[in-house]
Amino acid sequence: MVDDEPRLRQVLVRLMVGEGFRCDEAANGVEALEKLAAGVYVLVLSDLRMPRMDGLELLRNIQEKHRDVAVILITAVAEVEVALNALSMGAMDYLTKPFHIEEVRARVAQALEKRRLVLENRQYQQELEDRVAEQAGRIEVLFLGGVQAVVHALEVKDPYTRGHSIRVSRFSMVMARHLGLDDDTIRQIELGGHVHDIGKIGVRESILNKEGPLTDAEYAHIMTHPVVGWQILSPLLTDAPLALNIVRSHHERYDGNGVPDALLGDMIPFEARIVSVTDAFDAMTSGRAYRRGHRMNVASALRELQKHRGTQFDPAMVAEFVGLVDDGTIVIPSIGELDLITPATAHAAI
C-alpha cells in the first residue's frame, strides 16, 4: 500500500489482511521501490499524488524493474483522465476516491486474475519459442548432414579435392576470429568455406580428373561452379546469406576480372575475400589432377599470394593470412597429413 496519508493506508491494509494477504506500507514511490527490491510482491495499490515520487513514476519503475507486479492506481475523481493514461502505461486498473470496500475487493481480484493470465501467456510464449528453437536446431542438423553428404559425394567424384573444403573452412574461420567478427558471422564463414566448391558436383568428371593443362573451354566449364553452387544452396541457406556470398563470389578478383560477376575491390563481399585467399593457398599446397605430384611448399604459396595482392586478392586479407601463418596461429598440415583431415580432426585442431 503506497500512500502519503497513513489513515488511508491503514484502511486498505486492514481490508487486504482480512482477505488473506500479507501487506507492507510505503509513504511514497521511493520507499515502495526499496521494499520491492527487498521482497516478493504480487500487487501494488498506489496513490497517484505523492511527494518525492508520484504514482506514475512508480508505475514506470515497476514496469521496468518488476514487470510481474500488478499495479492499481488510486486517484481523485478529477484525475480519471490521468488514470486512463496510466492504463496504457501498464497499470492493471484504477480506483477513484472515495471508494467502496466491495469495489476494492472486486478490483483487486480482477487485477490479480489479469496478472495470472499475463504470466501464463508469457510462460506459454517462452515454451513455444523454446520448442521452435529446438525444432530449428534439429532442422539445421538434418540440413547440414545433407550438405555434408553432397560434399562427400563431390570428394568421391573428385578425389583431389579430398579434405580441401575442410581446410579452407578451418583457415577461414581462424582468420574471421582473429579479425574480431561476431559469432554468427564466423559460423557462416565456416559453413561457406565448407561448401564453397559444392557447385563442382555439376562439372564433368572427365574435366575434374583430367591430367595435364585444361583448355580454355574446359577451364570456363569448371568456373561455372560458383553459380551452380549458389543456385543449389540458395533455397536452403536463406538464414546464411554470408555463406551464399562465399559460394558465389570466392573466385572474384580484386581487380574486377573474376567470375561470375566481375566485382571490383570492396564490392566483393568481405567474407568471400577471406575465402578467396585461403582457397587459393590450399589449392597451391595440395594435389590437383592437372599437376599430379606437384605441390607448392608453404613459403612458395605465401609468396604467390603476396605477388598477386591487389590484383587477384585483397591486400589486407593476404597480409592477415600470411601473418597468421608466420606467427603459428594458422598451422598448415604437412603433406602427409593433408589427406587425413576429417571434420572431427579439423575441429580438434582449431
We report the CATH number of the domain holding residue 98 as 3.40.50.2300
Please give the model's pTM, rounded to 2 decimal places.
Answer: 0.59
Backbone angles phi, psi at 42, to 5 degrees: -110, -20
Instruction: Looking at the structure, tell me whether residues 96 and 201 fall in a common domain.
Output: no
Is the residue at 1 inside a domain? no
| Type of residue at 141 | V
Is the residue at 148 inside a domain? yes
Instruction: Looking at the structure, tell me whether residues 112 and 157 fall in a common domain.
Output: no
**Residue 245 belongs to domain spanning:** 136-349
Q: Which of the listed residues 125, 148, 166 is the one where a domain comes to its end?
A: 125
We report the CATH number of the domain holding residue 178 as 1.10.3210.10
Instruction: Looking at the structure, tell me whether residues 140 and 284 fall in a common domain.
Output: yes
Is the residue at 68 inside a domain? yes
Residue in 1, 88, 77 with CA at minimum distance from that of residue 44: 1
User: What are the angstrom distances between the C-alpha of 280 and each of 184, 233, 265, 274?
Assistant: 24, 22, 17, 10
Q: Answer yes or no: is pLDDT of 344 > 70.
A: no
Instruction: Looking at the structure, tell me whether residues 84 and 143 fall in a common domain.
Output: no
Is the residue at 39 inside a domain? yes
Express each pLDDT in 21-45 by its tens digit.
Answer: 999 999 999 999 999 999 889 999 9
Instruction: Looking at the structure, tell me whether residues 241 and 284 fall in a common domain.
Output: yes
Band of residue 350 on the pLDDT scale cut at 50, 70, 90: very low
Instruction: Looking at the structure, tell me whether residues 162 and 228 fall in a common domain.
Output: yes
Q: Answer yes or no: is pLDDT of 134 > 90.
A: no
pLDDT value at residue 161: 62
Is the residue at 131 inside a domain? no
Residue 275 contacts residue 250 (beta carbons within 8 Å) = yes
pLDDT value at residue 75: 81
pLDDT value at residue 341: 38
Instruction: Looking at the structure, tell me whether residues 302 and 275 fall in a common domain.
Output: yes
Instruction: Looking at the structure, tell me whether residues 167 and 305 fall in a common domain.
Output: yes
pLDDT value at residue 340: 40
Instruction: Looking at the structure, tell me whether residues 199 and 98 fall in a common domain.
Output: no
Looking at the structure of the chain, the number of domains it has is 2
Q: Answer yes or no: is pLDDT of 345 > 90.
A: no
- Average pLDDT (191-195) is 91
Secondary structure of 254-308 as H, E, C letters: CCCCCCCCCCCHHHCCHHHHHHHHHHHHHHHHCCCHHHCCCCCCHHHHHHHHHHC
Neighbours of 178 (CB within 10 A): 15
Q: Which of the listed residues 75, 99, 125 is the one where a domain comes to its end?
A: 125
Is the residue at 89 inside a domain? yes
Q: Answer yes or no: is pLDDT of 294 > 70.
A: no
Is the residue at 130 inside a domain? no
Is the residue at 331 inside a domain? yes
Query: 61-70, 141-150, 340-349 — which one is most confidently predicted on average?
Result: 61-70
Band of residue 349 on the pLDDT scale cut at 50, 70, 90: very low
Instruction: Looking at the structure, tell me whether residues 42 and 140 fall in a common domain.
Output: no
Pick from 64-68, 139-143, 249-253: least confident: 139-143
Q: Which residues of 320-348 are buried (b: 16+ CB within 10 A; e: fewer)?
A: bbbebbeeeebebbeeeebeebeeeebee
Instruction: Looking at the structure, tell me whether residues 157 and 73 fall in a common domain.
Output: no
Band of residue 137 on the pLDDT scale cut at 50, 70, 90: confident
Instruction: Looking at the structure, tell me whether residues 230 and 345 fall in a common domain.
Output: yes
What average pLDDT does the chain have? 85
Residue 200 contacts residue 161 (beta carbons within 8 Å) = yes
pLDDT value at residue 343: 38
Q: Which of the listed residues 72, 104, 125 is the one where a domain comes to its end?
A: 125
pLDDT value at residue 290: 52
pLDDT value at residue 295: 75
Q: Answer yes or no: is pLDDT of 251 > 60.
A: yes
81 vs 290, which has greater pLDDT? 81
